[in-house]
């Protein structure tokens, strides 16, 4: 059989890793005269949608910023409401996620979490560790600066112990000490709710991520919005400091 004469345009690249700053739950609730925690509850539906969307688009890594190192300063009732939602999410969704080939990984400072949540997370990670369809990274009690500080400390310990020479420290050594070791850097960072900042999210890993800001509030974000962000990514030219030639 002969080859087709018309040359086919290359398929646009599917991003390997999408990271999302899920913002706007509080404003979503406020606009409806509801307590903020109901906004967070509604946000869980959007999480479900986006996980499905990633699987159908063939995205291999999804990182969700669920709770920052600074979010601990919110009122106690809101913090415990968010932690309850996390418990509920893992308990309810683990079976479906595990069955669908999703691997769960949690990044952040676990020492601040309640013991039962730490156990739930450890169990979810263990149960899904061999899954390869999609890695769902949940950033929980996570701060990019904390992560880099902790990495510096471990590297300094290695140097102090004589196991590492200062001149051996390079980007790879630093990346190897981050919570995200083994996870490719995000191709896209999406932030909902119209805010245009990183709020201490993946500071090292986003060096060359494409930033996409969406006005929709997180509970209103769905699979079509994810697909639109991917399409926007595909229209951009990544140059990594080069000339793009
Ligand atoms: C994002 O929504 C969820 C978390 C930070 C946990 P917010 O709670 O920040 O919602 P807004 O920004 O107040 O609307
Ligand atoms: C960032 O949102 C953290 C998460 C989405 C988990 P925030 O609402 O906490 O960020 P700021 O305070 O507006 O920067
Ligand atoms: Mg917010």
pLDDT at 6: 56
Mean pLDDT, rounded, for 69-84? 98
In the chain, what are the domain boundaries? 17-143+185-234
The reply, when asked if residue 62 is annotated as ligand binding, is no
DSSP H or E run through 83: helix 76-99
CATH number of this structure's domain 17-143+185-234, picked from the four choices 3.40.640.10, 3.40.630.10, 3.90.25.10, 3.40.1180.10:
3.40.1180.10
**199 CA from centroid of ligand 2 (Å):** 6
Residue whose CA lies nearest to ligand 1 atom number 12:
24
pLDDT at 10: 73
Report d(CA 61, CA 187) in Å as an integer.
10
Q: What are the pLDDT digits (tens) for 109-136?
A: 999 999 999 999 999 999 999 999 999 9
Give, for ligand 2, the residue of 20, 25, 71, 81 to mutate: max count of ligand atoms closer than 8 Å to Cβ.
Answer: 71
Q: What is the pTM of this model?
A: 0.95
Confidence label for 2 from pLDDT (cuts 50, 70 and 90): low
Q: What are the pLDDT digits (tens) for 142-154?
A: 999 999 999 999 9
Q: What are the pLDDT digits (tens) for 78-100?
A: 999 999 999 999 999 999 999 99
Nearest to 150 by CA among 117, 174, 169, 125: 174
pLDDT at 8: 61
Mean pLDDT, rounded, for 182-186? 98
């Amino acid at each position: 059989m002969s080859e087709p004469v018309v040359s086919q345009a290359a398929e646009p690249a599917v991003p390997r890793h999408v990271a999302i700053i899920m913002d706007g739950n509080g404003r979503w609730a406020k606009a409806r005269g509801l307590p903020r925690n109901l906004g967070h509850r509604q946000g869980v539906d959007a999480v479900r949608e986006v996980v499905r969307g990633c699987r159908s688009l063939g995205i291999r890594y999804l990182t969700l910023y669920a709770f920052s190192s600074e979010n601990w300063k919110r009122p106690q009732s809101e913090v415990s409401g968010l932690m309850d939602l996390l418990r509920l999410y893992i308990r309810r969704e683990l079976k479906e996620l595990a069955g669908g080939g999703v691997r769960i990984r949690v990044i952040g400072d676990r020492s601040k979490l309640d013991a039962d949540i730490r156990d739930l997370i450890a169990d979810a990670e263990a149960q899904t560790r061999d899954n390869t369809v999609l890695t769902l990274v949940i950033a929980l009690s996570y701060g990019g600066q904390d992560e880099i500080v902790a990495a510096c400390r471990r590297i300094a310990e290695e140097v102090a112990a004589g196991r590492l020479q200062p001149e051996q420290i390079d980007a790879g050594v630093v990346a190897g000490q981050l919570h995200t070791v083994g996870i490719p850097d995000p191709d896209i960072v999406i932030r909902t709710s119209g805010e245009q900042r990183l709020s201490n999210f993946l500071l090292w890993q986003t060096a060359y991520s494409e930033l996409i800001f969406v006005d929709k509030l997180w509970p209103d974000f769905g699979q079509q919005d994810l697909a639109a962000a991917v399409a926007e990514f595909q229209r951009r030219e990544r140059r990594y400091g080069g000339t793009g030639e």
